[in-house]
A and B are shown apart, each in its own frame.
Chain A
Amino acid sequence: MVKDQEYLRSKASFCLDLAKKLGATGSSVTVGHSISETVNFRNNTLDESNRSDGLAISIETYLGKKRSSISSSNLLDDNIKTLIEKCFETTKNTPEDEFNSLPDKDLLAKEIKNLNLYDETHFDNEKKIEYLKELESVASSEEKIINTESSFTENKSNFILANSDGFCDGYKSSSFSASCVTVAKDENSMERDYEFTSKRHLSDIKGAKELGQKASEQTIKKLSPNKIGSEKISIIFDKRIAKGMLGAFAGAISSSAISRGTSFLKDKINEQIFTETINVIDKPDINKGVGSQIFDSEGVKSDTLNLVQNGVLKNYLVDTYNGKKLNLKSNGRSGGTTNLYFDNGNISFEDLLKSNSKHIYVTETIGHGSNLVTGDYSVGATGFLIENGEFKFPVNEITIAGNFKDMFKNITLASDLDFEYSINSPTMMIEGMTVAGK
């Protein structure tokens, strides 16, 4: 069982009291406990079981504008005492920083809304095994599939965040995830693909058959790929890749990148950075949302943010420290975005495929090719060639490149958004990028 609020609260107040006794002018502490159980299958047999039980504590102490932090997984009072002493000693020796501060009191979350983030159902290992057996029997049924690996993880966690300004709250959350990776082989190639599902509640995850079926189909489709020539061509990003563009965007509008001047979106507030039809929203209070939160990692209440409206950048993601630096109030985004998504476009998926005579449809990218300082983007890619709205053949060993500044202004979104993950995008088309192949 995951530790209850009472236990976590007692540890938290022990820390705050001790820091105060030592002379700290402020402090904050997070105590968390998480239990997760995973079962892995491979080629229709049990491969691994993994149980993880972890407590964690992190403490920040302030002396005026001086600050430092410690973290530990050892919650014995003796150890915590030694660490807080060490932490405060370090704080004293750390130079002042005028922007160091606990969050403004009036921004702290006041009420804990119930967002249904916790499902107490325990799906024991026997049941996980049944699910994976069913999944793998479907995934491996095609002759071309030569290897299957699948996994089921159940996680339950609980935490308390407390600070010396009187904030003290936390809540339980859960997640249930299943994934399947399949390898297919024919006379020309060996390919791998995957499918996964992750939800707060057990009853919401995809069925075993659906998961296995999808992974198998997607993998077989990739067999016998071709390399294509180098050219400028319209690119369609499958949803699972399109959401990565939002990830890069979120990195570039974090208040830390903005205040340090290391973002290509610095000073772009109220400017047109996307096509006029584009809206980007970060919504923390989606019922059962994978990325939902009631307050951020500093205790600041998070409200829905319209980050981009009609293509115009409206907000950065602001935490307390960088907010003070930029003269902005924290908007509860210490720790990043919550449920981030592009609103639907107004063209159907089918019509998007037909919108040009030729596209590359990208289903996977590899490499870390996003430079958030310059906006340059270059990654390896695999996918399919689409002609006149139809999938022609799989393509691999190509790269796609461009610059986010231009790419954002050439985005067309389909109308097929759904809320599978914490970042979601409809299928996305970007015109004018360079493909390098032969």
Chain B
Amino acid sequence: MSNFFDKSDLTRKDADAIVSDTLQNCDDGELYLEDTKSESILLDDNKIKSSSYSSDLGFGFRAITGEVVAYSHSNEISKDSLKKSSENLKSTLKSMKGTYNQDISRSNKKFYQDINPIEQKTLNSKLEVLNKVNEYLRKKDQSVKQVTTSFAGEQKSIEIIRSGGEVLTDVRPLIRFNVSVMLEKNGRKETGVYGIGGRQSYDEYLKNDNWKTVCEEAFRIASVNLESKPAPAGEMKVVLGPGWPAILIHEAIGHGLEGDFNRKKTSAFHDLMGQKVASEGVTIVDDGTIDNRRGSLSIDDEGTPTEKTVLIENGILKNFMQDRLNARLMNTKSTGSGRRENYRHVVLPRMRNTMMLSGNQTQEEMIKSVDKGIFAVSFGGGQVDITSGKFVFNCTEAYEINNGKIGSPIKGATLIGDGPSILKEVSMVGNDMMLDPGIGTCGKAGQGVPVGVAQPSILIDKMTVGGTKL
């Protein structure tokens, strides 16, 4: 746990006094202190390309009255700097008056251990793994022309000081291990990427030579793509595999159910609460409480304990994801979804681990039922236009389906759909829900936060596939 005051002329008592004084006429707000240590080690092109370490310390001071948010941040934790921020907040909100809401729920539950993954493993042992990955893949096949592999680890300590002196703290570990391989055969080049990670020590993910599994998967994806044919273009049936393809849910539905877009009525879902937005059998939750997952948090960045929020239950829209600001303005409670990338950013309602729960059909049944369509197994990134509801994502591994059988692999194509209607096109939900391997980062308003997704195989009756073959 970081002590934010031991090397500063600012004492905790001073900080308490400044916070209480600044927020006395506000509805909400807090001082957020953050200390992040992070490292990244990259092997590329047969060499350790970079090894870097970063230490980032700072505070973000927020005051809210009505709908107006005043925010000021600095990486200088000092009395002078905090006072300057306080003046800045006061000047924005000077003509307004609010009543501070002391209420914040508390919980002692922790969903990860208080560890620093960077210090738990020596630099040399990390370098050794990266070199083994490189040798293993290059020996595996002559077609391997490029290998990039990396470790990223961090420990983020946060402390939230609310008006009245209430203090909330959390220490969050996060690691990621990634392998990317490029193959070249008969003049064609294709890449395969795979990674794993979460809120545990490196060794939890690398035990039993688990790095080999990651290499094999990256190699397999690249090999499949070497044989790929141009993707079809037009509307057709799409079977999605389990696990990571749930970024479809994240893009198509998740963002549209974040509180801010609904309070501002810019989401296509803002007037659909309680209505049917998905086929029967479709249940979607956003859960911050799964042990050691990339998207899990013991408390969110406002200090609220996270929870498992039911978004859609059996096709019916049940809840939005809320931070304190949007919850207050919409007369509801925070769902522990208030997150920020770091102290430089304001809190926004964000996803944690977004999951579609299992139904009772099999993937085999889905494929058998399709005359002409595609089977999408893995994706790169996705994006959504919240207002029109249109969303896209890019296949990184996909196959044609012809007459109920899986055919040739197809080139990476973008799939495009309409968020509010796509879940009504889901005609089968599989019994094989799977969590993603722990690699997702979600971007919103310029802020990236780690997230998770999960889903079973699903069949979507109609989606537009953006290939080149008519």
Q: With an 8 A cutoff between CB atoms, is A122 at the interface?
A: no
Q: With an 8 A cutoff between CB atoms, is A165 at the interface?
A: no
B46 — nearest CB in chain A belongs to which residue?
A97
Within B94-143, the residues touching A (CB, 8 Å) are 123-124, 127
* Cross-chain contact of A68 among B52, B68, B81, B264 (Cβ < 8 A): B52
Chain B residue numbers with a CB within 8 Å of A111 are none
* Cross-chain contact of B470 among A87, A149, A191, A230 (Cβ < 8 A): A230
Within B42-60, the residues touching A (CB, 8 Å) are 44-45, 47-58
* Cross-chain contact of A401 among B381, B382, B414 (Cβ < 8 A): B414
Chain B residue numbers with a CB within 8 Å of A379 are 392, 414, 466
B266 engages A367 (CB within 8 Å): no
Q: Which of A74-82, A210-218, A288-296, A344-352 contacts B (4 or more CB under 8 A)?
A: A74-82
B182 — nearest CB in chain A belongs to which residue?
A262
B127 engages A95 (CB within 8 Å): yes
Chain B residue numbers with a CB within 8 Å of A271 are none
Q: With an 8 A cutoff between CB atoms, is A398 at the interface?
A: yes
Chain B residue numbers with a CB within 8 Å of A50 are 70-72, 346
* Cross-chain contact of A53 among B51, B54, B74, B411 (Cβ < 8 A): B74
Chain A residue numbers with a CB within 8 Å of B76 are 53, 55
Q: How far is the CB of B290 from chain A (nearest CB, A)?
A: 27
Chain A residue numbers with a CB within 8 Å of B467 are 378, 401, 434, 436
Within B247-277, the residues touching A (CB, 8 Å) are 264-266, 268
State the CA gap A366–B419 with chains docked (Å): 14
A78 engages B7 (CB within 8 Å): yes
Given contacts A72-B54, A73-B56, whether A262 and B392 have CB atoms under 8 Å apart is no
Q: With an 8 A cutoff between CB atoms, is A203 at the interface?
A: no
Chain B residue numbers with a CB within 8 Å of A191 are 387-388
B388 engages A70 (CB within 8 Å): no
State the CA gap A367–B81 with chains docked (Å): 40
Chain B residue numbers with a CB within 8 Å of A260 are 44-45, 146, 148
Chain A residue numbers with a CB within 8 Å of B235 are 437-438
Given contacts A49-B70, A378-B413, A436-B466, whether A83 and B92 have CB atoms under 8 Å apart is no
Kindly supply a per-residue 1/0 record for chain B positions 451-470, scoring 1 wherever the CB is within 8 Å of any chain A CB and 0 otherwise.
00000000000001111111
B191 — nearest CB in chain A belongs to which residue?
A373
A48 engages B69 (CB within 8 Å): yes
Q: How far is the CB of B245 from chain A (nearest CB, A)?
A: 15
* Cross-chain contact of B52 among A71, A97, A189, A367 (Cβ < 8 A): A71
Q: With an 8 A cutoff between CB atoms, is A380 at the interface?
A: yes
Kindly supply a per-residue 1/0 record for chain A positions 339-364, scoring 1 wherever the CB is within 8 Å of any chain B CB and 0 otherwise.
00000000000000000000000001
State the CA gap A27–B278 with chains docked (Å): 58
Q: With an 8 A cutoff between CB atoms, is A269 at the interface?
A: no
Given contacts A95-B127, A125-B91, whether A192 and B75 have CB atoms under 8 Å apart is no
Chain A residue numbers with a CB within 8 Å of B394 are 367-369, 378
B344 engages A83 (CB within 8 Å): no
Q: How far is the CB of A431 from chain B (nearest CB, A)?
A: 14
B92 — nearest CB in chain A belongs to which residue?
A49
Within A117-159, the residues touching B (CB, 8 Å) are 125, 146-147, 149
Chain B residue numbers with a CB within 8 Å of A231 are 470
* Cross-chain contact of A146 among B50, B68, B265, B385 (Cβ < 8 A): B265
B67 engages A45 (CB within 8 Å): yes
Q: How far is the CB of A247 from chain B (nearest CB, A)?
A: 16
Q: With an 8 A cutoff between CB atoms, is A86 at the interface?
A: yes
16 A-B contacts (beta carbon < 8 Å): A45-B68, A47-B68, A49-B92, A51-B72, A69-B52, A71-B52, A90-B51, A93-B127, A95-B48, A189-B388, A230-B234, A261-B146, A373-B182, A373-B191, A378-B466, A399-B414
Besides A68-B51, A71-B53, A379-B414, 20 more A-B contacts (Cβ < 8 Å) are A50-B71, A52-B74, A52-B344, A54-B58, A54-B344, A55-B76, A72-B54, A72-B55, A94-B51, A192-B386, A230-B470, A231-B470, A366-B384, A366-B390, A367-B382, A368-B394, A378-B468, A399-B465, A401-B466, A403-B468
> Residues of B at under 8 Å CB distance from A?
7, 44-45, 47-58, 67-76, 81, 85, 88-89, 91-92, 123-124, 127, 145-146, 148, 182, 184, 188-191, 231, 233-235, 264-266, 268, 344, 346, 380-388, 390-394, 411-418, 464-470
